[in-house]
């Protein structure tokens, strides 16, 4: 199994993030909010939003890195083609790697079967 995270796996355009923000399909946990929409491409893509409210640049980059890593190892479990935007809440700043993965797994487990 190959665990790549290429540029094609990312949501890059502001218009795509705005489309996702208007999506009615939202899953959330105590630490993350995830907007989900049927993908416009032939693959599941990921966008990550971490605002300055969450912490300084070091904290924000760590959260983004952990989200990408979780997605990279778990995207093969997602059926269908989705556009997913992970939005970190303020509470995500102090989480350990294990806690981030656990919180995201709880959300991602609801994606494949379509129950948002």
Q: Is the pLDDT of residue 2 over 90?
A: no
Q: How many residues does the chain have?
A: 116
56-103 pLDDT, tens digit per residue, is 999 999 999 999 999 999 888 888 888 999 999 999 999 999 999 999
Q: What is the per-residue pLDDT for 116? A: 42
pLDDT band per the 50, 70, 90 thresholds, residue 113: low
Q: Is the pLDDT of residue 112 over 80?
A: no
pLDDT band per the 50, 70, 90 thresholds, residue 1: low
34-60 pLDDT, tens digit per residue, is 999 988 888 889 999 999 999 999 999
4-29 pLDDT, tens digit per residue, is 888 888 999 999 999 988 988 888 89
Q: What is the per-residue pLDDT for 114? A: 47
What domains appear along the chain, each with residue ranges and CATH number? 7-108 (3.30.230.10)
What gap in Å lies between CA 63 and CA 48, rounded to an integer? 9
Torsion of CA 15, 48, 28, 37, to 10 degrees: 40
Helix 97-108 and helix 57-74, axial crossing angle in degrees, nearest 10: 50
In 1-116, alpha helices (H): 14-21, 57-74, 97-108
């Amino acid at each position: 199994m190959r665990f790549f995270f290429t540029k094609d796996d990312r949501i890059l355009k502001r218009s795509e993030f705005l489309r996702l923000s208007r999506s009615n399909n939202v899953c959330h946990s105590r630490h993350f909010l995830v907007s989900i929409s049927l993908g416009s491409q032939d693959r599941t893509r990921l966008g990550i939003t971490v605002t300055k409210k969450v912490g300084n640049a070091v904290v924000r980059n760590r959260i983004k890195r952990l989200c990408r890593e979780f997605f990279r190892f778990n995207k093969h479990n997602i059926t269908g083609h989705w556009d997913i935007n992970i939005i970190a809440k303020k509470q995500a700043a102090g989480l350990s790697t294990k806690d981030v993965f656990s919180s995201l797994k709880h959300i991602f487990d609801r994606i494949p079967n379509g129950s948002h």
